Amino acid sequence: MGQILLFFVFLLPTAAPKGSHSLWMLVMYIKGQTAFPEFSYVMMLDDVSVLHYNGDTNSLIARGNTKADDDVFNLNALPIIHDHLQSSFEDRWTLATTHLNKTDGVFALQQLVACELQDDGEPGRMILRNAFGGSTTDQLLFVDKKFTYHDSFNVSTHVLHAHHDYNKYLCEKLLQPFCFQTLKGYLVKSRNQINRKVKPKVRLIQKANSDSGGFRVSCLATGFYPRHINLTLLIDGQPVSDHEVTGGDLLPNGDGTYQMRKSLEIRAEEREKHKYSCSAKHLKIDNKLDIYLDFDPEEPFPLVLILLSLVSVFITGVIIYKCRKRRAVIIYLLSKCIKKITS
């Protein structure tokens, strides 16, 4: 199942730049006995899933709607694209199995088709990327009416050129017109969803590291949308170099927003010598948001907590004392009653 999970990593390396929108068609071919359809894909507007296709049932499922989005794209074009994608699957399957010398077991062949539209309405990049077994085999980049092709196949030049020409035709004549037309339609229909802006919640956390004896300072930003954010850890007002920082991956939340965490390991003796802070820049923040780490190295526990603990101990002691005193009185009265009865 590792190949299937790696399929969704396609989104991250080629995410649309700030100031543009993108449409993604993430296609999956599975060879072998599994519970998944042999041919399926999901269509995404930026980072919002809008459509799913199941090849076993030949059905389109529009996310959040009861019927397919036939008012967004031409449904008559989809069968043609399906036929070309499935026929090119056999071609790529032969190349991939020849290249990797594997024919048995369960294998996933994945394809990414993506196009970008700038805010001024001009087309951006068009990407056609293929992968087999979780590794990229070839990629076609179409920008400014120029094609750039990269591959890692170990096959004859004649076969490679034929594969290249077919992918170029598929991209230029079918996928690009369909992708840009659909992207423009979804930008109108889903404008409220994709144009929303949610401010990040930013925290600076300090935690002792038992393994190293030092501390870990982490900057966490969560609950923000869209996904573009600039998160920076600083020491005494100076940005920490990237090789010293761990984390920084963009992760999704269950509500459709995102989170990001960046961490820095510091030695115990360095902790009280510097001031640590975190800076966040996001579309929902007017300028930037600065968070500072506030702690007293000589006072690991706040005085308020100590006083509350003492008060809690005192109250507990009073309750125990009164309970014991009341119990003694009850025992004394019971003993007197027993003596009267027996006498």
Dihedral of the CA atoms 164, 166, 170, 172 (nearest 10)? 60
Is 219 inside a domain boundary?
A: yes
Q: Using CA of residue 36, residue 37, residue 39, residue 43, what is the dihedral sign?
A: negative
Residues 6 or more apart in contact with residue 145 via CB below 8 angstroms = none
- The whole-number pLDDT of residue 247 equals 92
- What is the pTM (predicted TM-score) of this model? 0.61
103-144, pLDDT tens digit by residue?
566 777 888 889 988 777 778 888 888 887 777 878 888 887
Q: Do 141 and 221 sit in the same domain of this protein? A: no
223-281, pLDDT tens digit by residue?
998 888 999 999 999 999 888 999 999 998 888 889 999 999 988 877 778 889 999 99
Q: Do 34 and 123 sit in the same domain of this protein? A: yes
Q: Do 166 and 206 sit in the same domain of this protein? A: no
The share of the chain scoring above pLDDT 90, in percent, equals 13
Q: Do 153 and 205 sit in the same domain of this protein? A: no
Q: Do 163 and 205 sit in the same domain of this protein? A: no
Q: Do 102 and 228 sit in the same domain of this protein? A: no
How far apart are alpha carbons 261 and 223 in whole angstroms? 12
Q: Do 103 and 141 sit in the same domain of this protein? A: yes
Is 60 inside a domain boundary?
A: yes
One-letter amino acid at 54 equals N
- The whole-number pLDDT of residue 123 equals 81
Q: Do 211 and 281 sit in the same domain of this protein? A: yes
Q: Do 17 and 103 sit in the same domain of this protein? A: yes
The CATH number of whichever domain residue 275 belongs to comes to 2.60.40.10
Structural domain count of the chain: 2
- Residue in the block written with tokens 């802006």: 197
Q: Using CA of residue 311, residue 316, residue 321, residue 323, what is the dihedral sign?
A: positive
Domain that holds residue 277: 201-292
Q: Do 188 and 240 sit in the same domain of this protein? A: no
| Phi and psi at residue 333, to the nearest 5° | -65, -40
